[in-house]
A and B are shown apart, each in its own frame.
Chain A
Amino acid sequence: MDIFILQLINGLSLGSIYALVALGYSMVYGIVKLINFAHGDIIMVSCFTMYTAMEIAGLPLLVSIPLTLILTAVLGIIIEKLAYDRLISKGVERISLLITAIGVSIFLQSTFQLIFKADSLRYQAFLPSKTISLFGIEPSLKSVVTIIVSLVLMLALTLFVKLTKVGKAMRAASEDASAAKLMGINTSNVVAFTFAIGSLLAAVAGILYFESYPRIEPYMGGMLGLKAFVAAVIGGIGSIPGAMAGGLILGVAEAMTVSIGLSSYSDAVVFGILIIMLVLKPSGLFGKNIREKV
């Protein structure tokens, strides 16, 4: 039983990382209906930025983390402005946007592959790898910190979207972008801001992910991002609580697959869940079934 609970906590910790990344996908999809394939690679960029700040520049931890967060958020805005903004404002077909996103993703991957040739890098993880005792079970400190940080961030995001003016603009734009524009909302800026927040959350996810899986490589973002997107679809794309729920479900499912000794099939399980979900309830757990009007 204890082992089961331990695995559950591991799963929740992995799942909350998925959830953080899924939020970025979900918010962007909610507004511009784009699967931002480059979102996973933002995680990779944040890890490499941390590596550069900590190992190469030798900056202290308390400088490195904010620096990484800011740089990643700025990168999100730059990508949006350079690659997507033109297409979104022109109103091109969705497939063109998707292909651009794939282009951006490969661009980031191959650029970092060229810069940091080595296969896998690492910096000194800052959380000690010890266990803490909690109600008679002993989960690792890392997973508990991951879960707590993620929960706090998700709560903050929910409050932000509910209470602030920018959050209101984001909700308006995701409901009907052109109507929002008519009401005087600068949708282009809202989209850029959404990218910034998404990238920020991805950067946090990247830093937390590294604590548990300390390897950095240019292609690490691909599968992680993809699973996070699956989490967003399972939860109902465009919905913030959905992204959280989807992430947690996926993380737990994956941890359980690993714990019964089928670790090489864990990717297959993730996509299996997606297929089942698409067959049973395509709009996702928290998604609204919107009828299309002509």
Chain B
Amino acid sequence: MDKLRKKRLLNNGIAIVLVIVLYVLLEILIRTELLNPIGFTSDFFKKMFINIILAVSLNLVTGFLGQLSLGHAGFMSVGAYTAALITIHADLPIYIEFPLALLAGGLMAVVFGLIVGIPCLRLKGDYLAILTLGFGEIIKVIMTNLKGLTNGASGLNAIPSYSKFGYVYFISILTVYIIYKFIKSRHGRAVISIRENEIAAESCGVNLTYYKLFAFLIASFFAGIAGGLYAHNIGYIAPKTFDYNYSIEILIMVVLGGMGSITGSVVAACALTIIPQLLKYMNLGQYQMLLYSIILIAIMLFRPYGLMGKYEFSLSKLLNKGKRASQGGTENE
């Protein structure tokens, strides 16, 4: 018992050290501006980690719950506007104002998630896809028309740039950790059972609507947080920033990485931030959506579970394997 605990502690320690080492490496890369010529600036790295938050949270709905959501950017928009309005109008020090704004953005996204989720998650079928798609469009209309608050189509600018790379990095690591823990928990298993078979799950006592809504709201919350980070990174948001194409981009990250694999989402989010940047660098930016559509169709036809399938990267397994390999592979466990 004690040995097991020690081992777990060691693994956690190694994980934390790795996270910090990666942070230091990336921070050095950003500070020294080594990759700036091809466009890998600090904005780029921040966008990458924001995309990780978005992809992992959407994977909870699409991969683990098995419901298609096409309005993830809409929740992001709600979070972005809420957070930006708070930091613009409130005059508080950054370390109070910024967390408060992000949290408020996340919670506002949850409120909208409730409005969208309750009518359609009670039902079987693909209603969530339709309603979230409509929601993404409506949010754009609302943000454009609430001119007094959101400055209409021209958008909000002069948002303070609070999103330092460190914040974005650690919030995204925290998001991945929380969602991973959720999946591994009792509740996470209930969510996965709904994906596998709704009827069987219901007959085992899983409250379908409750868990569907639960997963959907967690995803909305993190989308809202990501929106807040996004707004304070770019410093400018407009209703059309968070359009249908953005939602699709996030969906492609989930599908490419593997529906039901958090590792896959993280890898795909990085890849799909790097690829458009390289396309832009090579002046092929206009082919981005075409490329995405072909990726989507090809994956569904030839590898429906994405690149990673349901595989999860696990540090302890890797360490065990390394240990066994160093012992000559004689031990059979």
Contact = CB atoms under 8 A, between A and B. Distances in A.
Q: What bracket does the count of chain B residues touching chain A fall in?
A: 35 or more
Interface string A249-288: 0000000000000001101101100110011001000000
A102 B145 contact: no
B33 interface: no
A161 interface: no
Instruction: List 4 tightest A-B contacts by C-beta distance, closest first.
Output: A103-B296, A107-B293, A106-B293, A271-B134
Contacts, number: 114
Nearest to A293: B199
A87 B286 contact: no
A146 interface: no
A271 B136 CA distance: 11
A104 B287 contact: no
Contacts of A265: 141, 145
A144 interface: no
Nearest to B200: A294
Nearest to A223: B137
A164 B145 CA distance: 51
A86 B301 CA distance: 7
B130 A95 contact: no
A2 interface: no
A268 B304 contact: no
Interface stretch (B77-85, B121-129, B181-189, B227-235): B121-129
A96 B304 contact: yes
B141 A226 contact: no
A223 to B, nearest CB: 7
Interface of B: 62, 66-68, 70, 119-120, 122-124, 126-127, 129-131, 133-135, 137-138, 141-142, 144-145, 199, 244, 248, 251, 255, 259, 286-287, 289-290, 292-297, 300-301, 304
A114 interface: yes
B68 A294 contact: no
Contact of B294 (A107, A230, A275): A107
A87 to B, nearest CB: 7
Q: What bracket does the count of chain A residues touching chain B fall in?
A: 35 or more
27 contacts: A35-B130, A87-B301, A93-B304, A95-B66, A95-B68, A96-B300, A96-B304, A98-B126, A100-B300, A102-B248, A106-B289, A106-B290, A110-B287, A113-B289, A222-B244, A223-B137, A226-B130, A264-B145, A265-B141, A267-B138, A268-B138, A268-B141, A274-B130, A274-B131, A278-B120, A282-B127, A292-B199
Interface string A222-261: 1100100110010000000000000000000000000000
Prevailing SS type, chain A contact patch:
helix
B119 A275 contact: yes
A35 B129 contact: yes
Given A264-B141, A267-B137, A233 B127 contact: yes
Given A92-B304, A100-B301, A114-B290, A226 B127 contact: no
Nearest to A282: B123
A16 interface: no
A109 B255 CA distance: 20
A104 B297 contact: yes
A267 B300 contact: no
A98 B126 CA distance: 9
A35 B125 CA distance: 10
Contact of A103 (B66, B120, B142, B293): B293
B292 A83 contact: no
B301 to A, nearest CB: 6
A94 interface: yes
B293 A110 contact: yes
Contact of A99 (B137, B145, B251): B251
Contacts of B293: 103-107, 110
A38 to B, nearest CB: 10
Contacts of A129: none
A95 B259 contact: yes
A35 B296 contact: no
B102 to A, nearest CB: 27
Contact of B255 (A99, A105, A114): A99
A131 interface: no
B66 A102 contact: no
Contact of A102 (B70, B120, B130): B70
Contacts of B287: 110, 114
B179 to A, nearest CB: 19
Interface string A77-99: 00000010011000011111111
Contacts of B134: 226, 230, 267, 270-271, 274
A267 B138 CA distance: 7
A98 B297 contact: no
- B123, B135, B295, B296 — most chain A CB neighbours (10 Å): B296
Contacts of B248: 102, 106
Contact of B62 (A92, A95, A229): A95
A242 to B, nearest CB: 15
Nearest to A269: B138
